[in-house]
Structure 1
Amino acid sequence: MRTQTKETQSSLTPEKALTILKEGNQRFINNLKANRNLLQQVNETSTGQFPFATILSCIDSRTSAELIFDQGLGDVFSIRVAGNILNEDILGSMEFATKIAGTKIIVVLGHTKCGAIVGACNHVELGNLTTLLSKIQPAIDHETSTRDNRTGTNPAFVKNVTTLNVQLTIDRIRKESPVIVELEKEGKITIMGAMYDVETGVVTWNE
């Protein structure tokens, strides 16, 4: 598998970038890794990087974007934080990744059985974690279909909140970053939500 260069990156469309990620996840779930020499990629990226994707995902040890999308060194900007929440530092990182570094797609990747989502649903309070989990509260508030047992012990409720958290994060990106919105309007990037299943390894896209 070739290392991304300035030429290959610039030739990619947002649609092709999405296809690359989809194909990578297909290889992952079939246990068919692309043939790449990581040490060679170390050398090839030593003087510059030209990633094609920016992925916001959870810190969960099962959700490494490079692994589940079968990507190598220099392919993706991987932003990881519990609950794949958004703040101004992450938003600034996304602006750098797209406007300056040239990635073609932003992916907000949630996952099943997310501890941060469960914690938020249970209203856990613990040091600085309290502030982080409060950023998931809007998704809890938007979940209106569950009447009973609105806690982390209800798998259906947790699933709905997880899905809403991804969409609300995308909404915030568009609301709070004129830089990214302009790139999207110009067709230079696309923003996609997705869900990773920790039991199967499959990524489902919100299309």
Structure 2
Amino acid sequence: MKSKIKFIALSLAIFAITACNQEKKTTPVTEAPETNVLVEDVLTKEKQDALTPDDVVKNLQEGNVRFTNNDLTQRDLSAQRRKTISGQFPEAIILSCVDSRVPVEDVFDRGIGDLFVARVAGNFVNEDILGSMEYACKVSGSKLVLVLGHEHCGAVKSTIDDVKLGNITPMLSKIKPALETVEYEGERTSKNEEFVHMVCESNIKNTIDQIRTQSPILKEMEANGEIKIAGAVYDMDTGKVEWLK
């Protein structure tokens, strides 16, 4: 009887070991998932020098496509921060509105050290912003000055509505020339999005004219082909940036 019990126990043990080995043989090996490679490179002077103004425009346009496709580049921002401590060589300076819905670096899929960004409600220029643009291009080597307006701009709408409040009043006076030059037979109110868009574009073009008029340095650099001065409109509905001719 005892021999029979030992035989049964031994048979069960052998069966368990065999089943375990069989399971190990048939279970597929799962490969570890690929990890996203984080970009840690930054613009150097050599890379910046190699760029042309048209290269920079193309870079920003391609970055905007990635933004609209929700395919932003994965970056090691800590590494980029460390690599830019000793210097910066951005490819462009972008004048944008202060609107929180226009995240400039994300809109163009750019990281630390890639862009200078100046912001003021209504993206107009004054002496300080012009000086910043001259620094970016003449001193730091940027190849593009971009005036970036946007749809549904509160500063543009407030200018159309002739808002008067504290320091907002003199600020909006910088945008009024763009409003006054728009020829439009329809409803000239902030509720008319078509008219608001026209004023937005007019304001961008007016700002570009002021850059060329008030900054001989930037005008000369553009004439020599060292930089390009351009304008564009950011569409909040689509995330796309439409470049003005």
Partner of 1:25: 64
The partner residue of 1:109 within 140, 148, 160 is 148
The partner residue of 2:203 within 145, 160, 165 is 165
Q: Distance in 2 between matches of 1:62 and 1:155?
A: 18
Q: Distance in 1 between matches of 2:155 and 2:206?
A: 16
For these two proteins, the number of residue pairs brought into alignment is: 206
The partner residue of 1:60 within 87, 90, 99 is 99
| Pairing of 1:1-207 with structure 2 (within 5 A) | 1=39, 2-145=41-184, 147-207=185-245
Bigger Rg over Cα:
2
CA-CA distance at 1:148 after TM superposition: 4.3
Letter in 2 for 1:179: I
Q: Distance in 1 between matches of 2:73 and 2:192?
A: 38
User: Matched residue of 1:107: which SS?
Assistant: strand
Cα deviation code 1:70-106 (max 9, x no counterpart): 1000000000110101111101110011000110000
Q: Distance in 1 between matches of 2:191 and 2:225?
A: 42
User: Matched residue of 1:49: which SS?
Assistant: coil
Q: Distance in 2 between matches of 1:135 and 1:102?
A: 28
Letter in 1 for 2:222: E
% identical equivalent positions:
49
Letter in 1 for 2:44: T
User: Matched residue of 2:217: which SS?
Assistant: helix
What residue ranges of structure 2 are gaps of 5+ in the alignment? 1-38
User: Matched residue of 2:122: which SS?
Assistant: helix
How high is the TM-score relative to the length of structure 1?
0.97
What residue ranges of structure 1 are gaps of 5+ in the alignment? none
Q: Distance in 2 between matches of 1:135 and 1:192?
A: 19
Letter in 1 for 2:200: T
How high is the TM-score relative to the length of structure 2?
0.82
8 Å CA contact 2:72–2:106 kept in 1: the answer is no
